[in-house]
Amino acid sequence: MRKGMAAAAGGGRVLSVVRRIACVFGKGAGAFLASACLMLGSLPVPAAAAPRTIQIIEQSNLRFGKIAVPYSGERVVGTDGSVRDTGILSAGAADTGPAKFVVTYDRGNEGKRVITVEVQLGISSGLYSNGGVESRLKNLTSDIPGYTMIADGQIVTLSLPNCQTRVCRTEFTIGATLQVTNTGGGAEVVIPTYLDVMVVSID
């Protein structure tokens, strides 16, 4: 698992946090169960009194449901929960939906002044190929202002404005397109996708 860089802000050390998302198919009868699963956890925090920390928490996975792919096709899951298929068939009533995350910033013992925290997110995904099945995530979308579409590897800036409490939070949603080419039955597929978060400024 890749580690993000730590950032200094306001004279204190603020950690970045890295999360790993995996897109998974279950094989069988030419149908695939696709989802994106966030592995929770956090980077270690240095021993200190009330350190400042940044954290990203999964509320729900990116879920593509169960699909049958005769040759090749795509399933789009939007940030609003909408689903659109091209060249594939639904293979059951499996759950679909976008990924939802919460970003929290704990200011530690910094004080009670009103602050705005700027956070950078980095999202990148890979490609899976195993014999007759090839798949990848593409065309990520979000409900973050100014970032309706997110390119692979793009850095996204997220704001936590008017923070007056010790712990401030904001939420965002991620959708994506799952592209699959099938020339030889089912497969167990994992597509690693990384989500990094790092504090870049505190005003």
Residue 189 pLDDT class (50, 70, 90 cuts):
low
Per-domain residue ranges of the chain: 7-202
CA proximity to 121, closest of 40, 42, 4:
4
What is the reported pTM? 0.73
Looking at the chain, the whole-number percentage of residues with pLDDT higher than 90 is 32
- At 23, is the pLDDT very low, low, confident or very high (cuts 50, 70, 90)? very low
Residue with tokens 């966030």: 38
Residues 111-134 have pLDDT tens digits of 788 999 999 998 887 777 777 888
Residues 6+ apart with CB under 8 A from 190: 22, 23, 24, 128
Tell me whether residue 176 is exposed, middle or buried, using C-beta atoms within 10 angstroms of its C-beta: 0 to 12, 13 to 18, 19 or more.
buried
pLDDT tens, residue by residue, 132-152? 888 888 999 999 999 999 998
